[in-house]
Structure 1
Amino acid sequence: MSDKLEKKKYALVTGGSRGIGRAICEQLAKDLDYQILINYNSSKEAAEETLRLVEAAGGKGELIQFDVANTEQVKSSLDNWHENHKNGVIEVVVNNAGITKDGLFMWMPPEDWSDVINTSLNGFYNVTNPLIQKLLVNKYGRIINMVSVSGLKGTPGQTNYSAAKGAVIGATKALAQEVAKRNVTVNAVAPGFIKTDMTSELNEAELKKMVPANRFGEAEEVAHLVSFLASSKSGYITGEVININGGIYS
């Protein structure tokens, strides 16, 4: 029993160094009793800034570096982490890392297709697969996959991104049914236009006319939803795709 009491509980957020990922790290630190594992690929300075925000919010955290698209690197990083945290248990997994390489499909080079698929879809597998067994043994877990309105309705110029996110939606629904008996939930969150680095190039004034709410969303609004899904309050919600898009795809 004492071993159980000593367990330190963690929430892993991939791509946690900026944008929606950073907002999620900060919100989880405010709302839930988890140490935050902030994953980054290349931007260590940005990840350190996220860690400062987590600490400012009264939470604790640490950085973990790996490229979600690199199967071996993810596995060895997580193995090392477990080796160094014998009493650590990752209860929450937020698969947030993703990239876009937009362009019309007819001119899309193979690497723009495979890079986007490898990060969003294979990244989900690479991170979740090594951790799922521990969640099942633990008989508790929350897996939250960040998808997109593009994965639901398809967005022209984003055939690669729409394909990747659509596939993660299918995986979310299937995995949810496999693990529900063990009190592990699997849900997807599908943001529309959210103000981040990723959307900074877009013409906000023009595009917000498409949104019934007539504005872009804030990263914090997405983070509140993720925080709820990561909590014990959401135990009867699984296999769901929750839209947060101001009504653009309602």
Structure 2
Amino acid sequence: MNRLGQVAVITGVSHSKGIGAAVCLEFAKAGYDVFFTCWDAEEKWLKIFKKEIQDYGVVCNYIEADFRQQDSYTRVLNGVEATLGVPVILINNAAHSVVDGYKNLDVNMLDEHYAVNMRALMMLSVEFAKRFEASPFTAGRIINITSGQNLGPMVDELAYGATKGAISAFTSSLSAELAPLGITVNAVNPGPTDTGWMTNEIKKELLPKFKMGRIGMPKDAARLIAFLVSEEAEWITGQILHSEGGFLRS
């Protein structure tokens, strides 16, 4: 399959060490045109990163998107179509996370998690499917990023855990609806991943729990996602894949 001209949308790409950035580069290497969203990112880095993607011979563009805004999903998909064309791949990577705990959780904190982690992801997905259905394409992919909320408690992350956990149920139900359109819908849980948030103390604590002997890296998630959008994965849908390098929670 000649992938040049096929458009992939990746949300939540705001710094070089994130999973979103790794996915963009993996897709560019495979020949997909890349459209990504960012928020509160350095303009200098955005320009450098855009060129890095374009150096693979593909087209790239991006848009700043505040997914707390109700119309954000429409702005993103309109921006994609206006510059690159109708997308065939949607990677819902953007997320909002604030440490809370039952003593600190309030309505505003919960609403912001809901807006980004659930509403934006869900509306992007259904609008993507509607536009795909009206296009000449016959194979599409939606991949949602989760965090293994069903595998154990996330202490002091009540809003994050609850809203990200809802993605698994949404993925399963949406996959059944979109299968007749040729769109697969899956979710990926990359496990604890070193995207810049881990201190040396956190790494020291987590490392013994990775039975493969190292901390998870963004490229690990990116490679799995690249497989899931390939033709080889056309029979995989409605799945939540836990790709954690043997990480032990107990």
Amino acid at match of 2:61: E
- The match for 1:63 is 62
Checking the alignment, whether the CA contact within 8 Å between 2:146 and 2:188 is kept in structure 1 is yes
Q: What secondary structure sits across from 1:37 in the alignment?
A: strand
Mapped partners of 2:105, 2:200: distance in 1: 20
- The match for 2:89 is 92
Query: What CA deviation, in whole Å up to 9, does each residue of 1:3-48 have, x standing for no partner?
Result: xx9x9421000012330000000001112x3210011122152433
Matched, 1:43 2:41: yes
Runs of 4+ off more than 6 Å: none
**From 106, 109, 123, the counterpart of 1:109:** 106
- The match for 1:179 is 178
Change (3 A) 1:16 1:248: same
Mapped partners of 2:119, 2:49: distance in 1: 25
RMSD: 2.3
Amino acid at match of 1:101: V
Change (3 A) 1:14 1:201: farther
- The match for 1:54 is 53
TM-score, scaled to structure 1: 0.87
TM-score, scaled to structure 2: 0.87
**Within-5 A mapping of 1:1-250:** 8-18=5-15, 19-31=18-30, 33-45=31-43, 46-82=45-81, 84-85=82-83, 88-137=85-134, 138-200=137-199, 203-248=202-247
Checking the alignment, whether the CA contact within 8 Å between 1:38 and 1:51 is kept in structure 2 is no
Checking the alignment, whether the CA contact within 8 Å between 2:143 and 2:187 is kept in structure 1 is yes
Q: For structure 2, list consecutive stretches of 5 or more residues without a partner in the other structure.
A: none
Mapped partners of 2:178, 2:149: distance in 1: 26
Checking the alignment, whether the CA contact within 8 Å between 1:9 and 1:91 is kept in structure 2 is yes
Mapped partners of 2:127, 2:67: distance in 1: 12
Query: What CA deviation, in whole Å up to 9, does each residue of 1:21-76 have, x standing for no partner?
Result: 00000001112x32100111221524333313212344331112222232213313
Checking the alignment, whether the CA contact within 8 Å between 1:48 and 1:63 is kept in structure 2 is no
Shift of 1:202: 6.3
Checking the alignment, whether the CA contact within 8 Å between 2:39 and 2:66 is kept in structure 1 is yes
Checking the alignment, whether the CA contact within 8 Å between 2:11 and 2:38 is kept in structure 1 is yes
Mapped partners of 1:41, 1:205: distance in 2: 30
Mapped partners of 2:102, 2:47: distance in 1: 37
Checking the alignment, whether the CA contact within 8 Å between 2:35 and 2:80 is kept in structure 1 is no
Mapped partners of 1:141, 1:150: distance in 2: 26
Q: For structure 1, list consecutive stretches of 5 or more residues without a partner in the other structure.
A: none
Query: What CA deviation, in whole Å up to 9, does each residue of 1:87-131 have, x standing for no partner?
Result: 812000000001210132232233222222221111212322221
Mapped partners of 2:79, 2:25: distance in 1: 25
Checking the alignment, whether the CA contact within 8 Å between 1:16 and 1:47 is kept in structure 2 is no
Change (3 A) 1:154 1:57: farther
